[in-house]
Structure 1
Amino acid sequence: MTRNDDPTSFENSNSMENARASPPSILEQYQNPYFLHPLDSTSLVFISNLLTESNYNSWSQAMKIELTVKNKLGFINVEIPHPSGELLSSWIICNGVVTAWILNSLSKEISTSINFSNSVQEIWVDPQERYQCKNRPRVFQLRHEISNLIQNQDSVTAYYTKLKMLWNELISYRPSCSCGKYTCGSVKNLQTYFQTEYVMAFLMGLNDSSASIRSQLLLMEPEPSINRAFSLVLQEIDQKAFSSSPGIAMSLSKSPTTAVESINSNGHVVGICSLPGISSNQWILDSGASTHICYNKALFTSLRPIKPTTVSLPNQS
């Protein structure tokens, strides 16, 4: 039997041809930097805040995110150089599309002054060289605003939002790492440092009414993230507001039954307990606890034994 008569050889040949003829999967398409979706037109506008003379860092960061999503970041950071051969036509098309996306994100004044080039990388560098050099005065201004920002009459949410806007712009001025992808160890340490400063700035601006939760956050291990710190402060304020609402605080003059358990205006059961060292007419309420404890057996109308259980305190002890 000759090779051509071998059925196994014939089947293998057909399978290889079918494999070559099968279209690439969706994942393979999006992994290819030369792939353009039908909606990736030259009229796309990625960001609403167009580039001006004063917002280069936030603009460039937003553009990098969008280009990363489109798998086109390599066209501006020279990871995809000018090719030759069969990839040249695809590179020219993608280079033109990315160029249009960048020009669409510029203000009219800047767009007319950009030096047009055959390379999108050169167009990207043009505003970078002109406007990124103005970062030092802006960094000084941002740090000054952050250091003077206090909660005052604002809610914690409004105060946190103001701080977050200033801080996000400040960290956009941080130096780039050598790997260019912010994945190396030195950048991780830098991010941890910035996160600590972020939390410190947030805590420093809080009103004195949050001094208790501020002290707890400063002693917390591991250090809380900024979102975790904000969440805990907000919970503390909500808890204080709830405890000071009319109809919540109970005194010893009430009957034993209502002194241990009361129902608020919303129909929720509220547990009440007293702690040693606190005045007999002062009570601690925690509506978020799963089980409520009272140290004085005399306040109960009836008692029954329970299985031994572990009690967890708010400080995780």
Structure 2
Amino acid sequence: MLPARDVPLGGPRAMTVRRTLPQRGRHLIGAWCFADHYGPDDVARTGGMDVAPHPHTGLQTVSWLFSGEIEHRDSLGTHALVRPGELNLMTGGHGIAHSEVSTPRTTVLHGVQLWVALPGRHRDTARDFQHHVPGPVRIDGAVIRVFLGRLAGDVSPVRTFTPLLGAEITLEPHATVTLAVDTAFEHGLLVDRGDVRLAGTPLRPAELGYVPPGTGALTLVNESGAPARAILLGGTPFDEEIVMWWNFIGRTHDDIVEARAAWEAASERFGTVEGYPGSRLPAPALPHATIRPRRRR
């Protein structure tokens, strides 16, 4: 079991999120390298999400909501809404910028923000944006929405650069479901609500359970008298070392230095986000040390 830690997100108008990846005990699950879980937040009290334009390199962002609505703008010219049960996936290989703002009609904001590391041969790929609305799959007291990869007979059409699985699973009270999975994958289950037992390990909300490769079936048990919900992540082990700092993923310290300098210089590498009513986020200062690669654990 991997616990979460509270992290402020988004500069001066920061909202607090619960981060389970990366952490000291585990940096990656497949190519999943970052997992933030937030809400349910009463927007009237917290102010909601307001993340000014900021850059990304070497990764894909995966946005998934349980409630609320977020306005997405990026330097491709995309202007889209993130809604519950709908996947927005943005690819920022060589460089992209975007902003994320909860809409005025949002009352409760609740969801996850996930990142996927791009493999070396694709880490400079062009900017891209994909949207997908997975249909519900019902099996053994569970409702499953597969937004990436394949599970329970459903397959997402969304392109990824390594084998991945991403799915929302809602369990009825006291339900047990056993799901066939790829034995080459490692898996993580991030619990949103309820008490869920995964492969014999009890998990509480905001905790992440881990199952190594070699398992062909995962059994999830809702141990409570109310519905439970979780996000299942999986993928083949990502064997490349990555350097991850702020919103950048590279392979060396110099990759990060170059990306930061390009962002601060307003380089065309990241383009411009149109329509955001404010300034973009400045990059933080670099550490006074060489940024070391994150090794698999």
Point out the structure with max Rg over C-alpha.
Answer: 1
Higher helix share: 1
TM-score (norm 2): 0.20
Name which structure has the greater RCO, CA cutoff 8 Å, separation 6+: 2
- Structure number with the higher strand fraction is 2
